[in-house]
Amino acid sequence: MPVPREMFLSNVWRDGIFKDKVLFCTGGAGTICSMQVRAFVALGGNACITGRNPEKTEKGAADIASVRAGAKVIGIVADVRDMVAMEAAAERCATELGSLDFAIAGAAGNFLAPMSQLSSNAFKTVMEIDTLGSFHTAKAVLPYLVQSVQKHKNSGKEEPTGTGGRIIFISASFHFRGQPLQAHVMAAKAAVDQISSSVAMEYGPHGITSNVITPGPISGTEGMERLSTADARSVKESKAKIPVGRWGEVKEIADATVFLFSDAGSYVNGVVLVVDGGAWRTTGADMGSTWKYPDFFFSGAAVEGVKGGKKSKL
């Protein structure tokens, strides 16, 4: 079902700014990444999304393509943990769509678990999907991004061929101040931030920009299903702790993406752009009304009431 434009894009952006450009996005059928890709396609681009679930990936590609008449969106089944698969996906994207100008490393995994219930295998899985997956994505797309920026110069002036040669990594803010129940994700996302920094320094001389977008609590996403319960009291308390007093909208992450890919973001490189209403400034050890700190850790209880919150074996 087509998504109304106002749900994924503000009206400040000029149509056609990504005309004939191509975006490669891992985890592109997810609730946040799909909206980022949708915004790009709505503004004239074509795209390739990857995922492990064939049905979800192919259906997601078709749904995104519906946003603009004539849009081309390819869904490729590929596991970000497999370097060979990612290289093949990037090659197919560039071959079938004519180029690969932008990339989003968005594949991720998360769940709530205290260290006492976090198995080595569960920790390893998140590290492989988030960190190794981001590294594989960058390695696979960078040769194409170099080609793109050679055609679409990063000069600081508005080039007639538009922009290109840019990559965004999707991260989280848990490691900024520390967050209980998120040891695995804090480790993984801290590494993702530094992969982006390395790309910014090493490929900046080519004209490529590499940045991180760090979403905060975003309404209606898979992430919020996994990280918060749905009871009204918990939701109200969560929103009250955010300086702007609400959860974010997926449109706000998509808008940040358009900014970094557009002419307006040409000189932004090596930055972690936090889009969370100021939430990371006021959160940390406080886990809300459901899992009180530090009582929860003395209780030995399992995380319950959230998607994927089952107790892990030691």
Buried b (16+ CB within 10 A) or exposed e, 166-186: bbbbbbbbbbbeebbbbbbbb
**One of 21, 99, 173, 189 is an active-site residue; which one?**
189
What is the side-by-side order of every strand in the sheet holding 46-51?
A: 73-77, 46-51, 22-26, 102-105, 166-170, 209-215, 272-275
Candidates 216, 245, 215, 234; CA nearest to 306 is 234
Burial (0-12, 13-18, 19+ Cβ within 10 Å), 49: buried
SS (H, E, C) 62-87: HHHHCCCCCCCEEEEECCCCCHHHHH
Angle CA(77)–CA(197)–CA(225) in degrees, nearest 5?
50
Is 189 annotated in the active site? yes
Output DSSP code: residue 263. G
Rounded CA separation 77/57 (Å): 7
| Cα–Cα distance list, 65 to 59, 68, 72, 137, 257 (Å) | 10, 6, 6, 22, 18
Rounded CA separation 258/256 (Å): 6
**One of 171, 173, 228, 238 is an active-site residue; which one?**
171
Helix axes 33-42, 54-65, angle to 10 degrees: 30
Residue type, 228: S
Residue type, 84: V
Catalytic residues: 171, 189
